[in-house]
A = this chain, B = another copy of it.
Amino acid sequence: MTLPKSKQIYALHASICQVLANPKRLEIIDQLQEGELSVTQLTETMKISQANLSQHLSVMRHRGIVTVRRDGANSYYRLASPKIVRACALMREVLLENLESGAEILRNQTKQ
């Protein structure tokens, strides 16, 4: 197994995984778990500026993690695939396993 994958694919794969590499974007994904939300709704539940939220949504849109539905002045975002939540959940499980097994490492991680 382990088919050889081109550098290209790895780069794209990394690019889409990178969406998950930010706390705010993970929170957005969490919020969208149940279904679509407007930008206004997202700003209300998350402690984030409208501009910054819009920037993150832009990244997520461009990398195919969310899709938008525009309705008048409002934009409604939803996750592009249920697989995204599953992937996030798996990685969170890995994290929790690490925390339980007392991985010292995770204490002093990059904060923001």
CA distance A12 to B70 in the complex (A): 33
Q: Which of A65-107 contact B (CB under 8 A)?
A: 65, 80-81, 83-84, 86-88, 90-95, 97-99, 103, 105-106
A residues 29-83 in Cβ contact with B at 8 Å: 30-31, 33-34, 61-65, 80-81, 83
What is the oligomeric copy number? 2
Min Cβ gap A41→B in Å is 13
Chain A facing B: main interface SS: helix
In whole Å, how far is A43's beta carbon from the nearest beta carbon of chain B?
Answer: 17
Chain B residues within 8 Å of A13, by CB: 23, 26, 88, 91-92, 95
Contact of A86 among B63, B80, B90, B106 (CB under 8 A): B90
